[in-house]
Structure 1
């Protein structure tokens, strides 16, 4: 790891002078960069020092190829994947932040923010041992981050699966045993919540919508959506309306022609920005409820429309999914504990 400290010193002056900026490329998991297989065994590089000879780095395969990472990284940056660190009991050195979107407030982290639309010097100053990134990081950004610290880009085929993502991140950090316990607890919770939801709503259909606060358009999340698909429709066994079930995309703008045919008994709805306490968002939702197009949708007709907090409903990680399950029990099975 000594070579990275030397490289950081050189890159500090270069990056500062160039004022290089890094911009976010949309929502995590929406990009499609061809992954490199991760089933090859990790290689270990042995580095000698005056006291002993020990493995300090190893070579692993990520979404862009081979990368040499520290064997036991301590200062971790996991951009927009801090949820997995929290689940593993690890505090990241910075937290992902985008001025247009904010940060994942639900994690309640007390660490510096890294503005992904700003200067990368802020990340360099934090001196990460490893940077863990994902679909929002393209090849150019990956190269830039790699000049700051060893950067691992999670392959795209791993991202939709929260269990695989946690397991992979834990393996990178040497915390595989911890991940096994976290997942055992997680799966036990799912079994319990699934039984309670089945008793409460049976085969009634549920869908997640996002209100885009700028133009009032509505996005519908399908069964393959990275944020909700695995938890709601695979793990908890909830039923989706026919339109959402037929979707091949993760989410699309719902056309007005489809609304009268949306046979949703329950609707989870979140704003694209801000909170439901904001007057503009509340007003938009009230207008939606009185819109003739929506009034005949079963969920609206029966008062089964549930505004929720957006940040953890727009994340598919372990901690976020726990909060979603809390919401589902509160909203759909209020008598259960």
Structure 2
């Protein structure tokens, strides 16, 4: 009788132990994250050379997203609030986002046309200076190599624009908007821009036709002249998108720009010339000696000078290829060329 009682007690104890182990197995370990790891099939394929949008994970963890930039995958805030856009502030402004700082270069200045009332970040100084602005996202353009990228990434999650989109301002805008989680805003900005271009292009064609146009920068300090080619990221848009005809030298250039000697001036054959100062403004006192390059008698043989089609424009938006700057170039052309 006692043996039977002992067996029953042992069996009951074993059942209790099994139940206890099962209960423990159902509890989460408090030291291990309960967030599920992303499944491999949930990741979008890396962007192809023609893709203009960063790939993203389909999971929504509420606070962050995974996007793919030039150097790989980056975890960024789902809704960034304090953004730094080094050389891409134009796109931020177009999307209605005010950066917490604006890039600045001691020699080049800043993009004055954006009229941003924010602190300046000296791009020639220490990147760690950005810490004082407490950014939660940094977006950089193609000028940032892997080494600088890694330094920026120590400050905040950093997205580097893919090389495949750098030649197109609408494509860059789409990418920046996607990283900011504002894709619909980009669609509206691009639609408005394309409508404006189509209307202005028709007016320019009617006013200018096939007359040849050149864009020349006066490099102050160096006292040289730079002819911008059709592939120039700043001014090439007036040919590729706005429909103006480049002079032969600009059309045949493979480089972004070419320094031309005074002896070449009579060969330009331009009916219209747009001049840009490399720094300051046309009224800056210390650059007046440099601007005397435009007083050379050699210019008298150029059709643009003979016809009075000489246009001196503000430098900062003409030395940017971003979408707001391009829209402002269009405004200049309509004002100067369409009578």
TM norm. shorter chain > 0.5: yes
Indicate which of 159, 174, 177 corresponds to 2:181: 174
**CA positional deviation for 1:257:** 4.4
Aligned equivalent of 1:264: 270
Tell me, in whole angstroms, the C-alpha distance in 1 between the residues paired with 2:263 and 2:283: 30
Aligned-residue Cα RMSD (Å) equals 1.8
Matched, 1:138 2:151: no
Query: What TM-score do the two structures reach when normalised by structure 1?
Result: 0.82
Q: Alpha-carbon deviation of 1:283?
A: 4.1
Determine if contact 2:221/2:290 at 8 Å carries over to the other structure. Answer: no
1:295 to partner: Cα distance: 2.4
C-alpha contact 2:234 2:321 (8 A) present in aligned 1: yes
Q: Is 1:277 the equivalent of 2:247?
A: no
Of 211, 220, 224 in structure 1, the residue corresponding to residue 227 of structure 2 is 220
Match of 1:253 in 2: 259
CA distance in 1, matches of 2:107, 2:54: 39
- Larger of the two Rg values belongs to structure: 2
- Deviation of 1:63 (Å): 1.5
> Structure 1 pair 299/284, CA: closer, same or farther in 2 (3 Å)?
farther
Query: 1:45 offset after TM fit, Å?
Result: 5.8
Partner of 2:244: 238
Shift of 1:196: 1.2
Matches of 2:301 and 2:258 in 1, distance apart?
21
Distance 1:62 1:40 in 2: 6
Q: Please identify runs of 4+ aligned residues in structure 1 that moved more than 4 A.
A: 35-40
* Contact preservation (8 Å) 1:193, 1:325: yes
Deviations 1:258-294 (A, max 9, x none): 3221111111111111111113434433x33331333
Are the structure 2 counterparts of residues 290 and 98 from structure 1 closer, same or farther at C-alpha, using a change threshold of 3 Å? Answer: closer
Correspondences of 1:80-159 after superposition (within 5 Å): 80-159=87-166
Match of 1:25 in 2: none
CA distance in 2 between counterparts of 1:189 and 1:282 reads 36
Of Structure 1 and Structure 2, the greater helix share is in 2
Contact 1:36 1:64 in 2 (8 A): no
2:57 to 43, 48, 52: 43
1:45–1:56 contact (8 Å) kept in structure 2: no
2:172 maps to what in 1?
165
- How many residue pairs match? The answer is 291
Q: 1:272 to 1:243 in 2, by over 3 A?
A: same
Distance 1:280 1:40, change over 3 A: closer
1:200 aligns with 2:214: no
2:54–2:175: 8 Å Cα contact kept in structure 1? no
Contact 2:239 2:245 in 1 (8 A): yes
Normalising by structure 2, we get a TM-score of: 0.81
Given the superposition, is the C-alpha separation of residues 290 and 99 from structure 1 closer, same or farther in structure 2, using an over 3 Å criterion? closer
Within 2, Cα distance between the matches of 1:240 and 1:270? 16
How far has the Cα of 1:57 moved from its partner? 2.0
> 8 Å contact 1:271–1:281 — kept in the other structure?
no
Unaligned residue ranges in structure 1 (runs of 5+): 1-34, 47-53
Shift of 1:61: 1.8
8 Å CA contact retained: 2:152, 2:158: yes
Q: Which moved more, 1:241-250 or 1:289-298?
A: 289-298
Of 60-69 and 130-139, more deviation after overlay is shown by 60-69
CA shift for structure 1 position 139: 1.7
Check if 1:299 corresponds to 2:313. no
**Residue number among 50, 54, 72 corresponding to 2:79 in the alignment:** 72
